[in-house]
């Protein structure tokens, strides 16, 4: 079974913000040796989450993991994401679709904040 991964971002009207999410997804694929990774967006970016899943299925994914590129478990992850995943599940019946927690709580975040603070103070 081939795992397809969607790095799920909010999306922005600022093209460079959406491109940053795509770049993170590409680095994740390269550094992790993961051949089936796509960026997907809630709004204002292309593709949306269903479109990203469709792309992965076309490339051979048989199960999907959605990795939210969000810091906290806000309203979009509590309300919108489950609704979208439910719709995708109706289209791709029988396909396993799982969602990871957001980035909040990951031990690397505090180290990143320390690094940013030190860089700014240098």
Closest CA to 65 of 25, 23, 7: 7
Give me the mean pLDDT over the 2-24 stretch.
Answer: 97
User: Token pair for residue 79?
Assistant: 């309300």
For residue 85, the surrounding DSSP H or E stretch is helix 81-91
Q: CA–CA separation, 92 vs 99, rounded Å?
A: 16
pLDDT tens across 48-104, in order? 999 999 999 999 999 999 999 999 988 999 999 999 999 999 999 999 999 999 999
**CATH fold group of domain 3-121:** Rossmann fold (3.40.50)
pLDDT score for 73: 86
Report the DSSP beta bridge partners of residue 7: 39, 67
Catalytic hit among 10, 76, 92, 106? 10
Quote the tokens at residue 87. 């719709």
Q: How confident is the model at residue 122 (pLDDT cuts 50, 70, 90)?
A: confident
**In the chain, % of residues over pLDDT 90:** 93
> Does the annotation count 10 as an active-site position?
yes
Q: Helices 81-91 & 49-58, crossing angle to 10 degrees?
A: 40
Domain assignments of the chain as residue spans, ordered by start: 3-121
């Amino acid at each position: 079974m081939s795992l397809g991964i969607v790095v799920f971002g909010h999306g922005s009207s600022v093209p460079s913000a959406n491109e940053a999410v795509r770049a993170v997804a590409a680095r994740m694929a390269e550094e992790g040796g993961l051949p089936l990774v796509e960026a997907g967006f809630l709004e204002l970016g292309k593709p949306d989450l269903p479109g990203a899943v469709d792309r992965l299925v076309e490339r051979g994914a048989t199960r999907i993991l959605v990795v939210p590129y969000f810091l906290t478990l806000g309203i979009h992850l509590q309300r919108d994401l489950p609704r979208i995943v439910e719709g995708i599940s109706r289209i791709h019946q029988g396909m396993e679709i799982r969602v990871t927690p957001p980035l909040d709580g990951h031990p690397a975040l505090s180290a990143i904040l320390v690094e940013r603070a030190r860089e700014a103070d240098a």
